[in-house]
């Protein structure tokens, strides 16, 4: 006859080991996201280069899209374990103190990386928004200049259209 408490202990060890494994995978994904965050200045430089005509707009968009897709891939990898994580964590009350400490240590590292990523993302989002506003202002200026030229400039040999008869 098997002892139920020894069976629970074996399940506890397996659950803790799997949770540590998932925590390590999530930590690696967060480290990859932090590495991507270090590439954000070069993404912004590409956007600036496109705004100045030094790089094609399509190229800058591809660089930004690739950056965002890589981030999304990391997020998807982390989130793919959410359900299993919750199920395994529910058994944590049965774990030994060292098993709990191991998982908590990895989780603290993960949360610290997420805080760094969040800070970097906030700055990156601000920078992108500022560039979008600048581009919008430049487009509005260009549109205004074109409209003014159409309204007040000569049209193919004709006199200006919107001036008084004296002017």
The answer to whether residues 160 and 150 touch, using CB atoms and an 8 Å cutoff, is: no
CA-to-CA distance for 153 and 136, rounded, in angstroms? 25
The answer to whether residues 81 and 26 touch, using CB atoms and an 8 Å cutoff, is: yes
pLDDT band at 65 (very low <50, low <70, confident <90, very high): very high
SS (H, E, C) the chain: CCCHHHHHHHHHHHHHHHHHHHHHHHHHHHHHHHHHHCCHHHHHHHHHHHHCCCCCHHHHHHHHHHHHHHHHHHHHHHHCCHHHHHHHHCCHHHCCHHHHHHHHHHHHHHHHHHHHHHHHHHHHHHHHHHHHHHHHHHHHHHHHHHHHHHHHCCCCCCCCCCCCCCC
pLDDT band at 89 (very low <50, low <70, confident <90, very high): confident
CA-to-CA distance for 13 and 73, rounded, in angstroms? 30
pLDDT at position 4 is: 46
The residue-averaged pLDDT of 62-79 equals 94
pLDDT band at 12 (very low <50, low <70, confident <90, very high): low
pLDDT band at 51 (very low <50, low <70, confident <90, very high): confident
pLDDT at position 57 is: 87
Q: Is the pLDDT of residue 164 over 80?
A: no
pLDDT at position 143 is: 58
CA-to-CA distance for 45 and 57, rounded, in angstroms? 12
CA-to-CA distance for 79 and 86, rounded, in angstroms? 11
Q: What is the pLDDT of residues 103-157, one digit of tens each?
A: 888 889 889 999 999 999 999 999 989 888 876 666 666 656 666 666 666 655 5
* The pair of three-digit structure tokens given for residue 40, joined into one six-digit string: 């954000």
Q: Is the pLDDT of residue 5 over 50?
A: no
């Amino acid at each position: 006859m098997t002892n139920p408490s020894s069976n629970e202990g074996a399940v506890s060890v397996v659950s803790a080991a799997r949770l540590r494994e998932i925590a390590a995978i999530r930590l690696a994904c967060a480290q990859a996201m932090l590495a991507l965050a270090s590439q954000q200045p070069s993404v912004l430089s590409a956007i600036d280069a496109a705004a100045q005509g030094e790089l094609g707009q399509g190229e800058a968009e591809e660089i930004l899209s690739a950056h965002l897709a890589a981030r999304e891939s990391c997020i998807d990898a982390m989130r793919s374990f959410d359900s299993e994580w919750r199920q395994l964590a529910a058994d944590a009350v049965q774990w030994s103190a060292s098993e709990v400490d191991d998982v908590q240590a990895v989780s603290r590292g993960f949360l610290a990386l997420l805080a760094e990523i969040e800070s970097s993302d906030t700055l990156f989002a601000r920078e992108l928004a500022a560039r979008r506003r600048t581009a919008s202002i430049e487009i509005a200026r260009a549109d205004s200049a074109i409209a003014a030229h159409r309204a007040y400039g000569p049209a193919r040999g004709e006199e200006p259209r919107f001036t008084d008869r004296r002017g």
